[in-house]
Amino acid sequence: MGPQGETATPSNVVAVADADVEAVRAGNHTAALLWHDQSDFVNAVTAGATAEFERLNIKVVATTSAGFDAAKQRSDIETVLAKNPSIILSLPLDPVTSAAAFEEAKSEGIKLVFLSNLPSGYEHPADYAAIVTDDLFQMGKQAADALAKSMGGTGTVGWIYHDASYYVTNQRDNAFKTTIENDYPNISIVAEQGITDPARAEEIANAMLLRNPDLGGIYVTWAGPAEGVLAALRANGNKTTKIVTLDLSEPVALDMVRGGNVAAIIADEAYELGRAMAAAAVLDLLDQDVPPFVVAPAVTVTADNVAEGWMQSLHINAPASLTTSN
C-alpha cells in the first residue's frame, strides 16, 4: 500500500508507448534529478532515468545531491528552477519542508515524480504524477523467507528494526515480522531492538546475543547497521547465527560469498525505479493517466547469484572482490 493507502501498480506497466515516442522526442523537454544523497543506489536510479530520457530525447539539465539535508534540498530546487525543467524527479527528504520547497515547481506546472516519499498535503494527480518505490512488502517478505530457509525453518530470531517514522524502512521491517509470525510457526522472534544510529549496531547486537546466545538468525533493517552486527558476531566467534539484511553492500556481500554469517541480501531494482520514474513523468507530460503508486520488484541476492543480482538491481557489474573470492 502507498503512503495514502494507494493500490500498488507494477513498474513494468508504466511505459511510454512506441506510438508516442516521436511526439515526445520533438517536444524539447528537459529534466532535473534532485536526489537526497549519493550512493550506488542513487547512481543506479539516475542511470535508469537517464537511459529513458535519452531514448526520448529529453535532456537532463541538472543532477544534485542534498546529502540528507532538507535545507540543502530546498536550495537545490530553487537553483534548478532557474533552468526551467519540464520534469523533476526527487526523493523528498522531509514531508513538511519538501511540501513548501516543491510548491513553486508545482505552481509552474513542472511534472513531479517522487521516489518513495511524499510531501505533506500533496494530492494525486493534481500535485504530482506518481510515487515510485520498491515493492517494500516483498523486500521484507523475501528477507523473512531467506532467513527462514537458512535456519531450516526452525529456531529463534532477533529483529533489529529502524526506530523512526520513515515509510520505506517501516514497511520493510514490518513485512519481515509479519511474514515470520504468519508463515513460519517454528520460528520465534525472541529479541526486538530499534535502531536510529547505525554506529550503535554492534553494541545492540552484543546485548541481544548476551541475552539470547542461541539466536539462529538476526534481521537487520539495512546493510549499514548489518556491518556492525556482523562485527559483533565475529568478535564473539559466532559462526552459526545467520544475518539477512536489505540493500546491497560490498562488505556484507563479501561475508556472504565467503560462507560467513550473512545468508542473503534483499535488494530493489534501482535501475528500474529510475526508468519507471522517467516514464511516469513523460506520461504526465502527454496528459495520460499515471497510477499514483508504482512499485519495482525485489530481488534476493545470495552467494549463488551475486553477480546476476548486482546487475539486476544496480545495472552494474558486482565488485571484483565478490566474483573472485573463494
In this structure, are 224 and 169 located in the same domain?
yes
Domain for residue 307, yes or no? no
pLDDT of amino acid 68: 82
Domain for residue 315, yes or no? no
In this structure, are 113 and 235 located in the same domain?
no
Question: How far apart are the C-alpha atoms of 117 and 95, rounded to whole Å?
Answer: 8
Over residues 139-155, the pLDDT tens digits come to 999 999 999 999 999 99
Mean pLDDT in the chain?
Answer: 94
Question: How far apart are the C-alpha atoms of 124 and 5, rounded to whole Å?
Answer: 12
Q: Are 267 and 232 in contact (CB under 8 A)?
A: no
Over residues 229-273, the pLDDT tens digits come to 999 999 999 999 999 999 999 999 999 999 999 999 999 999 999
- Domain with 56 in it: 9-128+269-296
Average pLDDT of span 304-318: 95
Give residue 325's pLDDT band: very low, low, confident or very high (50, 70, 90): low
Higher pLDDT, 221 or 97: 221
In this structure, are 120 and 206 located in the same domain?
no
Question: How far apart are the C-alpha atoms of 132 and 226, rounded to whole Å?
Answer: 26
Q: Are 147 and 244 in contact (CB under 8 A)?
A: yes
pLDDT at residue 3 greater than cutoff 90: no
pLDDT at residue 318 greater than cutoff 70: yes
Domain for residue 169, yes or no? yes
Question: How far apart are the C-alpha atoms of 87 and 105, rounded to whole Å?
Answer: 9
In this structure, are 183 and 254 located in the same domain?
yes
Q: Are 245 and 176 in contact (CB under 8 A)?
A: no
In this structure, are 185 and 92 located in the same domain?
no
For residue 177, which amino acid is it?
A: K
Average pLDDT of span 113-134: 94
Distant-in-sequence, close-in-space partners of 288: CB < 8 Å, separation ≥ 6: none
Our CA angle for 181, 184, 186, nearest 5°, is 105
In this structure, are 188 and 238 located in the same domain?
yes
Question: How far apart are the C-alpha atoms of 11 and 30, rounded to whole Å?
Answer: 22
Higher pLDDT, 39 or 89: 89
Range of lowest pLDDT (3-12, 107-116, 243-252): 3-12
Q: How many CB atoms lie within 10 A of CB 225?
A: 23
Domain for residue 309, yes or no? no
In this structure, are 242 and 206 located in the same domain?
yes
Domain total of the chain:
2
Distant-in-sequence, close-in-space partners of 32: CB < 8 Å, separation ≥ 6: 60, 61, 62, 63, 64, 80, 83, 85, 87, 88, 89
pLDDT of amino acid 188: 98
pLDDT at residue 326 greater than cutoff 60: no
In this structure, are 262 and 277 located in the same domain?
no
In this structure, are 154 and 239 located in the same domain?
yes
pLDDT at residue 34 greater than cutoff 70: yes
pLDDT of amino acid 243: 98
CATH of the domain at 42: 3.40.50.2300
In this structure, are 230 and 163 located in the same domain?
yes
Give residue 97's pLDDT band: very low, low, confident or very high (50, 70, 90): confident
Question: How far apart are the C-alpha atoms of 12 and 39, rounded to whole Å?
Answer: 24
Domain for residue 322, yes or no? no
Question: How far apart are the C-alpha atoms of 64 and 247, rounded to whole Å?
Answer: 22
Domain for residue 258, yes or no? yes
Specify the DSSP element, H or E, that contains 136. Answer: helix 136-150
Domain for residue 304, yes or no? no
How far, CA to CA in Å, does 148 sit from each of 13, 217, 243, 271? 32, 8, 11, 28
Give residue 320's pLDDT band: very low, low, confident or very high (50, 70, 90): very high
Dihedral of alpha carbons 16, 18, 20, 25, sign? positive
Average pLDDT of span 107-127: 94
In this structure, are 181 and 124 located in the same domain?
no
pLDDT of amino acid 117: 87
Domain for residue 149, yes or no? yes
Domain boundary among 268, 285, 313: 268
In this structure, are 62 and 95 located in the same domain?
yes
pLDDT at residue 196 greater than cutoff 60: yes
